[in-house]
Amino acid sequence: MTLKEDWSAATYLRFEDERTRPSADLLARVPLTSASLVLDLGCGPGNSTELLARRFPQADAIGVDTSPDMLAAARKRLPGARFVEADLATWTPERPADVIFANAVLQWLPDHETLLPRLMGLLAARGALAIQMPDNLDEPSHRAMREEALDPRWRERLAGAAAARTTLPSLEAYYDMLRPHAAQVDVWRTTYAHPLDGAEAIAGWLKATGLRPFLDPLDDGEREAFVAAYVERTRRLYPARSDGKVLLRFPRLFMVATRA
């Protein structure tokens, strides 16, 4: 993943409760009762690392991310953990891990047919690989990004923006990728419905994640114009509910694979 600007921990944490909920749901399905080393790949500001540290208090916890701003926030949040700035596609721990946790990060990396077996190979015996990825590219929120990117004002510069994220295969395909390397594979899909304060809040959520490949190639004025146009598109797609909120549908894929 190559993005022009660093990830913003403050922007990301505006919706901390909503972003942490899938991490908690994923961790609840990890079958281990103890661990000596847990890895949090794409740890962001440390909210998922904190969940791992609470679940496995005796374990060494290492968070890995490419963003200095995210890592600074994570170190402040969890001074007892270790955080490493590294490329997830190539970074290797010093010893096999009992838990490898990858929450909302692998959708930014290509070639999952190679990546997932590699991660399974970094596990200790009976270790668990736990993955959650947004599966929302077909949702109105993301179709609106691609449609707005066709505007002549920025069409040429945003021609490759949609390709920044990997199009996820089916649950069946992920099961088949993992099963030859695992004693047990658990795959499932959950759709969350987040009540938000209108189209502006949807844009505020996605400016920290999905909108970034569309905003990074633009200058400051163009970014402001793109977001304003995006808000108008999403306002038509997400009508207010009875309480004035809009519901942001957010499908996510989950998988837990346990090594023999």
- pLDDT digits over 154-176, tens only? 999 999 999 999 999 999 999 99
Checking if the pLDDT of 113 tops 60, the result is yes
Please state the φ and ψ torsions of residue 122, each to the nearest 5 degrees: -90, 0
For the stretch 197-232, pLDDT in tens is 999 999 999 998 899 999 999 999 999 999 999 999
Instruction: Compute the average pLDDT of residues 140-144.
Output: 97
Residue 59 has what DSSP assignment? S
pLDDT confidence band for 17 (50 / 70 / 90): confident
- Phi and psi angles of residue 220, each rounded to the nearest 5 degrees, phi first: -60, -45
Please tell me what DSSP assigns to residue 74.
H
pLDDT at residue 19 greater than cutoff 90? no
- Per-domain residue ranges for the chain? 9-258
Instruction: Determine the average pLDDT of the residues in 5-22.
Output: 65
**Mean pLDDT of the residues in the chain:** 93
- Report pTM: 0.91
Measured torsion, CA atoms of residues 132, 61, 51, 41, in degrees rounded to the nearest 10: -20
Residue 152 pLDDT more than 60?
A: yes
Domain 9-258 indexed as CATH 3.40.50.150? yes
What is the pLDDT at residue 1?
36
Other CB atoms within 10 A of residue 161 CB: 20
- Taking each continuous run of H as one helix and of E as one strand, the counts in the chain are 10, 7
